[in-house]
Structure formats: structure tokens, C-alpha cells
Structure 1
Amino acid sequence: MKKLFVCLSILSLALVSCSKDIAEDENNTPVSGVISGEITGNVNYAYGNYTLQGVVRVKNGATLTIAAGSTIRIDKTLATDNGLIVENGGTINLVGTADAPIVFTEVSKVPGSWSGIMLVGDAPINAAGGASTALSEDGSNITYGGTDATDNRGILKYVRVEYAGKKIADGQKETNSFTFYSVGSGTTLDHLVAYKGADDGFEFFGGTVSMTNAISYGNFDDAFDWQDGWRGQNNSNWTAIQVGKGNFGMEIECSLNNNAYWPKVTGVTLKRMSGCVPEVVGDVQIDAFQFKREGNGEFDNVIIDGYGNYTETTTTYQGAACKIQDATTNTNQVNSSKIKLTNLKITNTSQQIAGASSAISVTFPTGQFTTSNTATGSVLTNGTWSTVEGVSLLQ
């Protein structure tokens, strides 16, 4: 057995972690342990089975590394709030593989059992009123927003988060499976899975980071969501499978700021499976793309399937491939060619384009909304990373 190395520095009777290596034996047998508290140095967890207990915070100047193939379990009976927060200046290094992903899961398998993974960076945002900083909406009141467009919070690659999206603290604030506050383009987000969370699968609050090869499966709210002027430019291969309960495939807003920039995503698959209902009775959100509050963006090579009629009590609602929620977004974003949806293959969907009310008449400028029978949507290779309990998420 290799030795366990722990470096500690004691100053003024305070115990502060410098660095730590959790070792494994020579046969690569998984080790076990608990991940908890504040991480203030460079901490490396070898391949193993761990318990994440409480809210773990990676502090400024610290780096958390977890080896490929590791499983991190959360047990909501052990702590009231559980989550992983990488604070501004902290770094995460979670690099799994297709056959050995890093998996965060909760033992009860109940959506909303913990708070998921949150990264806080120093990239620009454009929050409500044009503010360059804001407070996080997860209940922890972390300030986010900065000036470093290339901000680097590290690497999340081949990571799966299961059963997150917990209401925390006062029961009003919510978290997502993955939450990115003002994260910059130096950060790597690749081959990520948000599985059966009680809120959004992925949510961006401003920033410049891009995400590739992502799956949002069975999340109660939106599969993908953003605001505060998120502007990632190199996004590709996004898949949403909405089952059981779910709202929009993508909820897109810009915090009421009419920006001259927007995100770009290539290769998108949005599927709403038969029997999927809105998260809350009386709040019908059943569209593939919803744009509101000056939301915009460019999307190319898109599959949209299953956003058809939904009946609640005696009222039947029609789903749409693209819904424009308010007149201001229609005027400033649609009419000014700041929303572009091209090469869309639309099936089993009630409407292609709709306004939220009869007062909003939506007409895209020429070339800004086009359909194609040859669109492929996202192209992902199945593996252990995209398989839960023996079932592939790529339907």
C-alpha cells in the first residue's frame, strides 16, 4: 500500500490544509473516504468511492483533483445541505474518461436531494440593469462577475451529476445539476451529464465559457438555461431528453439587456418524450426554445421532436419549436437578426414559431429561421459516461 501524504500548516492554532494525496494500492483497488469542509490547498483524491458530506468549498488558490472512475456519493440524511462549490480563484480538475467517468450521485435516488456542482469565475456578466456583478441565486449569496474573459476554473470532463437541484436554506432558492457563474473561456466543460435533477440540467449566469458534448436527461425544469449575458462561442453537441417532468428544452434570456453579442451552439437535439408534463400544474412551459427578456443566440443543425399538444384540465396548449415570450424580445432580438435558428428538423411538434400571446406576431428575417430534413442534431458516442443502471441516455 502506498503511503498517505498529508501536508498541514499550523498557524496561530488554526489548522489549514496545504496539500493532500489520497493514495491507492498497487492493484488499483478503489479507496474510500469522506470529502468535506473547505479545501484550501491542492487536494488529490485517487480512484475510489467517496462520500461528499456537507457543502464543500474549493477556496481561492486551491485545486481539487478527483481521479477517473471515482464515485462520489451524497447521503442527504447526513447533512442538511450538500454540494460542491468552486469559488472564484479556486480550481477543479475532474477528468474522467468515456469508460471511467466521475459520477456524483445521491443514495436515495430522489431528484433534488443535493445542490450539484457550482463554479464561480471572474468573467464578464451583464446582469439586470446592466450590472457587472450580482449575487448568486442559490441561497449562498456569492458575488459573481468580473473582467477576465479567459478566466479558468479548471476542467470538468466526463462527469455525471445525478439527483441534484435541491431547494436549500430557506426552501426558496434552488440549485441545478451544473451551475456556472461568470465562468470564463479558459475553463473546460466537456462530456457532462445532468441526470434527473429537480431544477435545470445546466445553467449559465453570464461568462464566456463554452460547453461541448453535454446531456441533460430527465431534469424537472429546463434542460439548458442561461441569463446575465452568457456568450460562449464554441458550444457543440448538446442533447436534451425530457422525460416524466420538464419545462423548456432551452430557456434563454439576457436579463433585459439588449446586447450586441450572443452564444453560439452547433449540433443540438431536443426531445420531449411521450407523457412528459410541465414541472408545475398551471404553469405550462412546453416549448423547445423559449426566448424572453432580450434573450438571443445562434443555433445550427438542430433536431426538435415531441413538443406537441398538452392538455391540462379542459385547456389544450400547443408546443412550439420556438416561442417568443415578450414583445421587446421580438422587436430587439428577432427583428434585429440577433436570434438565428438554422437547419432545424422539426417533428411531432405543434408549431414552428409562436408568440406567447396573439399580440406578439413573430416573423424572422430571411435566413434567420430555416428548416432541413438532413439535420443530424448532436452527435455523441455512447459509453459508460452516458449510461445509468445499464440504460443508455442517448435515445
Structure 2
Amino acid sequence: MKKLVLSLSVLALILGSCSSDDEVITTQPIPTGEITGEITTAKIYPLGNYTIQGTVKIKSGGSLTIEAGSVITATVGDGTADAILVEKGGKLFLNGTAALPVVLTETSKTPGSWGGIVIVGDAPIVGSNSGTTATSEDGNNITYGGANATDNSGSLRYVRVEYAGKKLTDNTSELNAFSFYSVGSGTVLEYLVAYKGADDGFEFYGGTVSAKNLISFGNFDDSFDWQDGWRGADNTNWYAYQTGTGNYGMEVEAKSVNNAFGPKVSNITLTRAAGTATEGGSSAAEYDAIQFKKEGNGEYSNVLISGYTTVNATAVRIQDAGTNTNQVTGGKIKLLNVKINDGTSQFAANGSVFTVVFPVGNYTTSTTTTGAVLTPGAWAIVDGVSLIK
């Protein structure tokens, strides 16, 4: 009874505090606005709905923070190459949550409508002829490659990039959903989604950064791609679903330089939906789950492969004799606990010039392989449909 009297007393106080019948209770409006130009200092955008105008450049010493739950929209019709570009020394902080991701999208929902996220760090690369720098292939012509393996370009958590992969004015250079140029290991990349872009989902150009819990869904070129001696050592839970148009699940290369290092990725799912065509049509034989070329290497474990059943396709393709000799026979490519869910062959050479033979223990299979293990949530849902199949 005492508890009831106390509750009634509190209720009376609350009701009595209302000053008049016409008092209006308001909620905080969601901010809107435009993100554009160069960012040279620390700039923070609260939870809101924003638009991008042109290429937003985060300069050295500048930082851009956009809070969880925000939506950033590009517009294909504005005549500009909309993108977010983090230059060397700049930082980007997009830290969403599973329930409130940061979403970067485009109004027409057309693949290739804008440029996505490009980050340029200061970590080492191995370019052509063992060079330590290179020029970006995205049309921005940025020099990348440095000496700071632990360089920090910020953090991306629970971020979804939709409909990127824009062709630039030369009509050949393309921007991926996520492009990482010489990004260092101090940068955090976790729970990222590349959705229906017109080029690669994720591409690493050298650097030392690692990435965890990635989804590449419906991207036209490769789901995951890298070159320039990328050596991220702590990658896990990569999930690719290719549908409609798509090339390799993973394309692995190293600018024809025989490196003694390579990335490590655990828990990988590569799935190709029935009827998926290559980007170049029937003339392009880019339909394998994984391709190694130009001395690409690395260690990949717990790999689940499904749907790569096009005539002449294979789970793992070794593209050239140099890669076969130095990386396969040399023991620098390891594929451990691989499970293929259909009749695709395990591995093959490109043509009949050489034969692929992995050293004992460097290619193993398993019937219990799980592939990527991802937690569903709003971060992985587009238009009410979960991307985790």
C-alpha cells in the first residue's frame, strides 16, 4: 500500500508540473546540410541526413567525424564526381553501430553513380619494379606509399557504401566502394558493406591495414581485390555475394614482385548466384572464385566456395607461370580448410603451359568449414532485405 501511495504522489507531481493545456512538447529535429570542399580542421557532423557535393577532401591535419545513424547521399545528376577522399595525414571517423550504421548512398540507386570512400595513408607499398611509391589508378592521380607501417587514417565501423564505382572523365578509371591506398595498421576497418558498386567492393593498394567483418554484395568487378604488396595480417569474416554481374570473388596480385610476405585472411565465404555474368561478357573468363597473378600470395583459411560453376571455371586459378613457380611451388600461397559446395574443381592453371602442384599441407580441404560468421542487423540490411544469405 505504501508503494501505491508513493506512485500516486509522483504522478500527481508530474501532472501538476504542466503549466497549461497549450504547452507543446517538441523533439530535436534531424540536422540536414551539405558536405563539400576541403576539410583542414576537425569537423563533426551530428546524427543527420546530409548530401555530398563533389569530392570532399580531408587534408593533412584535418578530420571528418559523422555520427552513428547518419545518411550521406550523393546525386548522380549534379555533374560532379562525388566522393570522400582522405589524403595522407587526414582522418575519417565513421563509427556507426549494428543498429545505427552510417550509410553512404545515391538517390537513383544506380551502380556507378558516385565515387565511394578513398583513403590514402602513409604505410609501405611494393609497386612496379619494387618501387616504394605509385600513382593512384582512380583518376585522382595521387602519389601513395610511405614508411609508417602503423599509420592511422581514422576508423570506419558499421559503414555501408551503396552504388559507388563511378567512371571518371577519362571513362576508364573507376572508383571502388572502398579504396585503401597505403593505409596503415593503426586504421580501424570493421563491419563494412560494399553494395552494388560498378567496380570492386574493396580494393587494397599496398599498406598494412587489416579489415574484419566485410560484406561485398552485387559489385560488378571483383568482390575483394589487392595489389602493391598489401600485407594486412589480421583479416577475418569476409563475405561475398555476386549476383547479376561480377568477376572474381578475390583477385590477388603483387605487381609482379616476388615478395616474402602476404596478407592473412580467415573465415571467407565466396558465393556466386546462378546466372551471374562477367563484367566483360562471355569474352572475359573472370569467373573463378579466387585468382592469383603477378606474384600474389598469402594465407587463407576456412574458405567456403559456392556457385562458381560456369564452364571452365575453377575455385582457385593460378594465372601465370611466375606466380606458380615462386608463390605456389615456393610455398607462399596457403589455402587451408577449403570447402567447395558444388562440382567446381579445386584449382587449375591458366592454360596448359604449367601444372599447379601445391606443397603438402599448403592446400587442404574440410567438410566442416563454416566460412564467414557475421551477426545480422540493420548494418547489413538494404531495403528490408538482409545481405547475409
TM-score (norm 2): 0.92
- Could you tell me which residue of structure 2 aligns to residue 178 of structure 1? 178
Q: CA deviation at 1:28?
A: 4.8
User: Deviation per CA, 1:198-238, whole angstroms, max 9, x where unpaired?
Assistant: 00000000000000000000000000000000000000000
Amino acid at match of 2:163: Y
Q: CA deviation at 1:29?
A: 3.4
Given candidates 361, 384, 390, the residue that maps to 2:384 is: 390
Q: Is the 8 A contact 2:243 2:272 kept in 1?
A: yes
Q: Does the C-alpha gap of structure 1 residues 349 and 185 become closer, same or farther in structure 2, counting only changes over 3 Å?
A: farther
Q: Which runs of 5+ in 2 are unaligned?
A: 1-25
Counterparts of 1:173-322 in structure 2, within 5 Å, are 173-281=173-281, 282-309=283-310, 317-322=311-316
Q: Is the 8 A contact 1:53 1:79 kept in 2?
A: no
Q: CA deviation at 1:63?
A: 0.6
Q: Is the 8 A contact 1:128 1:228 kept in 2?
A: yes
Distance of 1:44 and 1:76 partners within structure 2: 25
Runs of 4+ residues deviating >6 angstroms: none
Pair member with larger Rg: 2
Distance of 1:276 and 1:264 partners within structure 2: 28
Counterparts of 1:1-395 in structure 2, within 5 Å, are 27-281=27-281, 282-309=283-310, 317-395=311-389
Q: Does the C-alpha gap of structure 1 residues 293 and 28 become closer, same or farther in structure 2, counting only changes over 3 Å?
A: farther
User: Deviation per CA, 1:96-150, whole angstroms, max 9, x where unpaired?
Assistant: 0000000000101000001110000000000011000010001111000000000
Distance of 1:284 and 1:331 partners within structure 2: 22
More helix by share: 2
Distance of 1:390 and 1:231 partners within structure 2: 36
Amino acid at match of 2:265: V
Q: CA deviation at 1:349?
A: 4.2
Q: Is the 8 A contact 1:48 1:69 kept in 2?
A: yes
Distance of 1:30 and 1:195 partners within structure 2: 25
Q: CA RMSD in A?
A: 1.1
SS, match of residue 332 in structure 1: helix
User: Deviation per CA, 1:374-395, whole angstroms, max 9, x where unpaired?
Assistant: 0010100010000000000001
Q: Is the 8 A contact 2:30 2:49 kept in 1?
A: yes
Distance of 1:192 and 1:95 partners within structure 2: 11
Distance of 2:384 and 2:312 partners within structure 1: 35
- Could you tell me which residue of structure 2 aligns to residue 13 of structure 1? none
TM-score (norm 1): 0.91
Quote the sequence identity (%). 56
Q: CA deviation at 1:78?
A: 1.4
SS, match of residue 333 in structure 1: helix
Q: Is the 8 A contact 1:319 1:349 kept in 2?
A: no
SS, match of residue 208 in structure 1: coil
Q: CA deviation at 1:296?
A: 0.3
SS, match of residue 324 in structure 2: helix
Distance of 2:307 and 2:189 partners within structure 1: 28
User: Deviation per CA, 1:14-55, whole angstroms, max 9, x where unpaired?
Assistant: xxxxxxxxxxxx945321000001111111000000001101
Q: Is the 8 A contact 1:305 1:349 kept in 2?
A: no
Q: CA deviation at 1:360?
A: 2.2
Amino acid at match of 2:225: D
- Could you tell me which residue of structure 1 aligns to residue 14 of structure 2? none
Amino acid at match of 2:298: G
User: Deviation per CA, 1:227-270, whole angstroms, max 9, x where unpaired?
Assistant: 00000000000000000000000000000010000000010000
Q: CA deviation at 1:79?
A: 3.0
Q: CA deviation at 1:76?
A: 1.3
Q: Does the C-alpha gap of structure 1 residues 194 and 28 become closer, same or farther in structure 2, counting only changes over 3 Å?
A: farther
Distance of 1:360 and 1:109 partners within structure 2: 44
Distance of 2:256 and 2:266 partners within structure 1: 25
Distance of 2:258 and 2:114 partners within structure 1: 35
Distance of 1:360 and 1:159 partners within structure 2: 43
Amino acid at match of 1:80: T
